[in-house]
Amino acid sequence: MKFIVSSSILLKQLQVISGVLNSSNTLPILDNFLFEIKKSKLNITGSDLETTMITQVDVEAKEDGVVAIPAKLLLDSLKAFPDQPLTFTIDKENFGVEISSDNGKYKLTGHNGAEFPKTPKLESPSSINVDAATLANAINKTLFATGNDELRPVMSGVFFELNNDNLTFVATDAHKLVKYKRNDLKAETGSSFILPKKPLTLLKNVLANLTEEVKIQYNETNAMFAFGTTKMICRLIDGKYPNYNAVIPTENPNKLTINRSSFLSSIKRVSIFSNKTTHQVRLKMTGSELNISAEDLDFANEANERLTCQYEGEDMEIGFNSRFLIEMLTNLTSDEVNLEMSAPNRAGILTPTEKDEDAEEILMLVMPVMLNN
């Protein structure tokens, strides 16, 4: 088996799917890329059993064939080549791989491609098309709020809820929650699934540079994302997502409106002086003034800042984990934000004052930290 391919095109496609590979695998064959040639098309597969990515490259080839090639060795060698055609010759008996370039020959040990796990097929899937930039934005806005608790795996992914009139993405770790809704996306049949963190991170990295549509297909157990010459198939998280609407307070009479970047900068400065275990910052709102303070009693550190703001409601004092506020404010893009609250022991709701796009709605919820007066 023999084929000729451009070194730079091959490297680019391998880098797209290489993120799926684990550094340590239970099956040694997963340390390889699977190369399959069919009718002058080279299909390359990388997998960690849970998530599989497949990409396609045009090659010059006389015959079809299949081989598994060590991923790290191949990537490292391709990075060292200037752009040139490379000839791959594979020995069908022992799966030895020889790469010929303008300068020389390089030999590496391949493996039997038949040992590579089969890519899962989606039985009777539903599908929806989403613009790549929209999907990337939804993942960016929600991924940071997913949890890491192994005892609650459903919270470690992003919940996709597809309805006839909108598409909602939700992430929560029980301390903070993000709900991102698109009113310009519709599914023919209502359904929902939880996508794990790893495939979301891979998608986020790949979709950032794309302008085309992504076709999403899904059933009870798997989801597939297809864009350009690349496909990603991943196993969904099994379980029932918590009822997120039940935890979002609806009556929030106290409303703070403030410049996002000055609020963010102030919290970053003040939080340096906060307790290192609780990261607590205290917000005190009176009239058109917001007082942000933190203290660490163990080391007698404290900080206070005053900001002007618009505030409607009763004077109140509330404590939050500064790390959560910083993450949320960093992931919003509007000039001004609203923080709506009902009581010092109830969640605060953070929303942008103006939308980036008419069709999007974003709401972030953060649980308070009890104040010790």
Question: Measured between alpha carbons, how far is residue 359 from residues 142, 162, 194, 305, 355 in Å?
Answer: 17, 15, 23, 36, 9
78 with 165, same domain: the answer is no
- What local confidence, expressed as pLDDT, does residue 189 receive? 85
- What local confidence, expressed as pLDDT, does residue 373 receive? 61
Structural domain count of the chain:
3
218 with 254, same domain: the answer is no
Rounded to the nearest 10 degrees, the angle between the axes of helix 322-331 and helix 260-271 is: 150
- What local confidence, expressed as pLDDT, does residue 194 receive? 97
Range of the domain at 79: 2-115
Picking from 220, 241, 262, the residue at the C-terminal end of a domain is: 241
Closest of 208, 218, 214 to residue 185, by C-alpha: 214
157 with 111, same domain: the answer is no
Closest of 231, 218, 199, 227 to residue 43, by C-alpha: 231
CA quadruple 325, 249, 195, 131: dihedral positive or negative? negative
130 with 161, same domain: the answer is yes
287 with 340, same domain: the answer is yes
Picking from 194, 216, 241, the residue at the C-terminal end of a domain is: 241
265 with 343, same domain: the answer is yes
Q: Which residues of the chain have a pLDDT value below 70?
A: 373
- What local confidence, expressed as pLDDT, does residue 355 receive? 85
Task: Report yes or no on 121 lying in a domain.
Answer: no
Phi-psi group of 221: left, alpha or beta (phi > 0 → left; psi -120 to 50 → alpha; rest → beta): alpha
CA quadruple 119, 123, 125, 129: dihedral positive or negative? positive
215 with 298, same domain: the answer is no
270 with 360, same domain: the answer is yes
188 with 252, same domain: the answer is no
Picking from 208, 241, 274, the residue at the C-terminal end of a domain is: 241
CATH code of the domain covering residue 164: 3.10.150.10
Task: Report yes or no on 120 lying in a domain.
Answer: no
* 8 Å CB contact between 295 and 273: yes
Kindly report the pTM of this predicted structure.
0.92
131 with 110, same domain: the answer is no
